[in-house]
Structure 1
Amino acid sequence: MSKIIILTDYRDTFYSTARTQHGLCTMDVARVVRSFDDAGLRPQVMRYADLDLSADLHGVPVLYTSSEDRGLQYKSWIEDLVLAMEAAGARTIPSFRFLRAHHNKVMMEALRTQLFPKEAARLHTYSFGTYEELEAADLVGSWPKVIKPASGAGSTGVASAMNRGELLRAARGLSWSGSLDEAAREYGRRLLRRRRHHPRSLHRQKFVVQDLIPGMAGDFKVLRMGSRYYTLYRRNRPGDFRASGSGDFNFHDTAGVDQEALLDYAEYVSDRLATPLASLDIGFDGTDFHLFEFQCLHFGTVTAEKSTHYYARSHGTWQRVPEDCDIEAVFCQAIVDYLRA
Structure 2
Amino acid sequence: MHIAIHHRSGSFSDRWLEYCQLHGIRHKIINCYDNDIIEQLNGFTHLLWPITHDVLADIAHSRKIIASAEQAGIIVFPDTVTCWHFDDKIAQKYLLEALGAPLVPSYVFYQKEKALEWAEQATYPKVFKLKSGAGSANVRLVKDKNEAIKLCQQAFGLGFVSYHGYFGDAKTKLRKIGTFPQFVGKLKRFPKYLLSSAITKQQMPREKDYVYFQEFMPGNQYDTRITLVGNRAFGFTRDVRPNDFRASGSGSISYDLKRLDMEYVKIAFAVAEKMRSQSMAFDFIKDENGKPKIVEVSYGYQPKAVYDCPGHWDQKLNWHEGHTHPEDAILEDLLGTIK
Name the TM tier (shorter chain): 0.7 to 0.9
Give 1:212 deviation, angstroms: 1.3
1:32 aligned residue: 19
Q: Distance in 2 between matches of 1:268 and 1:235?
A: 25
Q: Distance in 2 between matches of 1:135 and 1:96?
A: 35
1:192 aligned residue: none
Q: Would the aligned equivalents of 1:270 and 1:278 in 2 still touch at CA under 8 Å?
A: yes
Residue aligned with 1:243, SS: coil
1:270 aligned residue: 272
Q: Which among 84, 91, 95 is matched to residue 100 of structure 1?
A: 84
Pairs within 5 Å for 1:1-341: 2-8=1-7, 12-13=8-9, 15-16=11-12, 27-34=14-21, 37=24, 42-50=26-34, 52-54=37-39, 60-69=45-54, 72-96=56-80, 98-116=82-100, 119-120=102-103, 123-129=104-110, 131=112, 133-137=114-118, 142-173=123-154, 177=158, 204=208, 206-252=210-256, 254-255=258-259, 258=261, 260-285=262-287, 286-296=289-299, 298-313=300-315, 316-319=316-319, 321-337=320-336
Give 1:203 deviation, angstroms: 7.5
Give 1:232 deviation, angstroms: 0.7
List gaps (5 residues or longer) in structure 1. 17-25, 180-201
287-296 vs 167-176, which deviates more?
A: 167-176
Distance 1:36 1:212, change over 3 A: farther
Distance 1:280 1:88, change over 3 A: same
The alignment-based identity, stated in percent, is: 18
List gaps (5 residues or longer) in structure 2. 161-205
Q: Which amino acid aligns with 2:30?
A: M
What is the TM-score with the length of structure 2 in the denominator? 0.72
Q: Deviations over 1:33-90 (max 9, x none)?
A: 236746xxx54431113453247869954332212236x2443132332233344454
What is the TM-score with the length of structure 1 in the denominator? 0.72
Q: Would the aligned equivalents of 2:310 and 2:322 in 1 still touch at CA under 8 Å?
A: yes
Residue aligned with 1:262, SS: helix
Q: Deviations over 1:190-226 (max 9, x none)?
A: xxxxxxxxxxxx9825442121122211110111122
Q: Which amino acid aligns with 2:17?
A: A
Distance 1:222 1:328, change over 3 A: same
Q: Distance in 1 between matches of 2:42 and 2:120?
A: 46
Aligned CA RMSD, in angstroms, stands at: 3.4
Q: Which amino acid aligns with 1:209?
A: F
Give 1:242 deviation, angstroms: 1.0
Which of these two proteins has the greater Rg computed from alpha carbons? Answer: 1
Give 1:174 deviation, angstroms: 5.6
Q: Which amino acid aligns with 2:48?
A: L
Structure 1 residue runs of 4+, over 6 Å off?
55-59, 138-141
